[in-house]
Structure formats: C-alpha cells, structure tokens
Amino acid sequence: MRDSSMQVGVDVNRCVASGMCALLAPGVFDQEERTGQVVLLEEHPPTEDWEAVEEAERSCPGQVIRFREAAARGESR
C-alpha cells in the first residue's frame, strides 16, 4: 500500500476510456463527459483510498496511472 508521501498521476494521451479507474476509485478518478478519458480528481488520495487506486492502476488497460514521490511541502519543482 502506498502512503501519504506518494501522489497519483495519469497520462491522458494513452487513456483508452475504459472507465475502470472511475468505477474502482470514484473519489480519485472521473471520466471526461465527451471523450470518456480519465480525469484526475485527487493527486494526493487519502490513505483509505489507496487500495482502490492501486486496483485501478492494475486494471487500467492503457496503463496510464502512475505513482511518484510527492514533493515536500514548500519545495519548488
């Protein structure tokens, strides 16, 4: 399971609009109404959502969901 030091990212250009992410983790992902492509609602999901986010990552046919270390607060990118 990921922790609060991680953040979620998506590659919209690779999205095939299957909707698995929005189905499995609706508090974190949604779909664009016109195209069906993924919309990231929450880059820093609460701990209780990480299991669903990880399942969405494994279930995504386009493999567009990524995890990375979040920048420390106040740290510039």
Structural Rg of the chain based on CA atoms? 12
Domain boundary assignment for the chain: 6-68
Q: What is the pLDDT of residues 20-36, one digit of tens each?
A: 999 999 999 999 999 99
Cα 67 to Cα 14: distance, rounded to the nearest angstrom: 16
* pLDDT beyond 60 at 53: yes
Report domain 6-68's class: alpha beta
CB 17 within 8 A of CB 10: no
What is the structure's pLDDT at 51?
Answer: 95
